[in-house]
Amino acid sequence: MEIYVGTSGWLYDWNIGGNLEWYVKFSSLNTVELNASFYRFPFRNQVRSWARKGSKLK
């Protein structure tokens, strides 16, 4: 069984870099929840960017 641990985003005070790259490199968490789609449907290029950057979480 795999267990994924993360946060509901990466724009927090503890994230010194304030971006996804810093989160991936230094947080030691292996997933992140994107709740942006709760507010509006995301643009295609935004989703592609998340997928490309988030692939480093695996």
Rounded Cα distance between 18 and 6, Å, is: 15
Could you tell me if residue 13 is inside a domain? yes
Looking at residue 56, what is its pLDDT?
67
Query: Is the pLDDT assigned to residue 54 strictly greater than 90?
Result: no
Could you tell me if residue 1 is inside a domain? no
Query: Is the pLDDT assigned to residue 8 strictly greater than 70?
Result: yes
How many separate domains does the chain show?
Answer: 1
pLDDT tens digits, 15-53: 777 777 777 777 777 777 777 778 888 899 988 988 887
CB under 8 Å to 10, separation ≥6 — which residues? Answer: 18, 19, 20, 22, 23, 27, 32
Looking at residue 44, what is its pLDDT?
93
Domain containing 25 equals 6-57
Q: What b-and-e string marks burial along 35-58, b requiring 16 or more CB atoms within 10 Å of the CB?
A: eeeeeeeeeeeeeeeeeebeeeee
pTM of this structure: 0.50
Rounded Cα distance between 29 and 37, Å, is: 22
Could you tell me if residue 44 is inside a domain? yes
